[in-house]
């Protein structure tokens, strides 16, 4: 199981321009899921490595979306030229320095930008969880091909809510349970509507 003590995270290319590149998920949902995942990582103090295309904000792909960057003000993004992030010594050193063998991975796109380093890390003995709904693909066809390719290579495909629950482990752990419920309220529309309804009922006369 993932825990706050055994996991680190690699977030690749959550750049404003690339958020528009995906065809298997609406950019609004992709942004929502990516920010939710980042908040979960922040909640559990998971060490995070941020990386983006070489020119960063000055390039055509734009900056890392501000909601993610603002959550980790002390994390300096690593701007790279290598397609496989694991082959960039700076990124590899950051992950190895955590001493953690479970990697929560997400990025755009899941078939190469995050998919290729995820497969390489899995081959190197890491337990990699690729968060598909915070990653995105060029099309539905590529999504299915990515899942097959990743799982064949030993990468575990997941989603942000599954990662959140695995890290939480027990609702009795109150110091993170409250924060996770706030993330639910902000990023799970159905949960937010249900909570609004329940709160309204509680405030009605004779309830």
Catalytic position from the list 25, 49, 113, 164: 113
E strand intervals along 132-203: 156-158
E strand intervals along 58-180: 78-80, 102-107, 127-131, 156-158
Distance CA 48, CA 100 (A): 12
165 is catalytic: no
Sign of CA dihedral 169, 172, 178, 181: positive
Phi first, then psi: give them for residue 136, nearest 5 degrees. Answer: 90, 155
Catalytic residues: 113
């Amino acid at each position: 199981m993932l825990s706050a003590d055994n996991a680190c995270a690699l977030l690749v290319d959550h750049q404003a321009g690339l958020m528009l590149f995906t065809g298997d998920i609406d950019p609004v949902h992709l942004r929502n899921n990516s920010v939710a995942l980042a908040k979960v990582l922040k909640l559990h103090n998971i060490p995070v490595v941020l990386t983006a295309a070489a020119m960063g904000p000055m390039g055509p792909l734009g900056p890392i979306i501000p909601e993610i960057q603002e959550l980790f003000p002390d994390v300096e993004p690593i701007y790279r030229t290598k397609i496989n992030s694991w082959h960039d010594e700076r990124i590899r050193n950051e992950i190895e320095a955590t001493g953690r063998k479970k990697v929560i991975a997400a990025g755009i796109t899941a078939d190469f930008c995050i998919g290729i380093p995820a497969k390489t890390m899995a081959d190197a003995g890491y337990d990699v969880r690729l968060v598909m709904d915070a990653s995105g693909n060029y099309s539905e066809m590529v999504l299915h091909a990515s899942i097959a390719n990743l799982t064949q290579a030993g990468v575990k495909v997941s989603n942000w809510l599954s990662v959140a629950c695995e890290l939480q482990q027990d609702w009795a752990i109150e110091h993170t349970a409250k924060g996770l419920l706030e993330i639910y309220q902000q990023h799970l529309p159905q949960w937010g509507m249900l909570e609004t309804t329940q709160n309204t009922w509680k405030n009605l006369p004779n309830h």
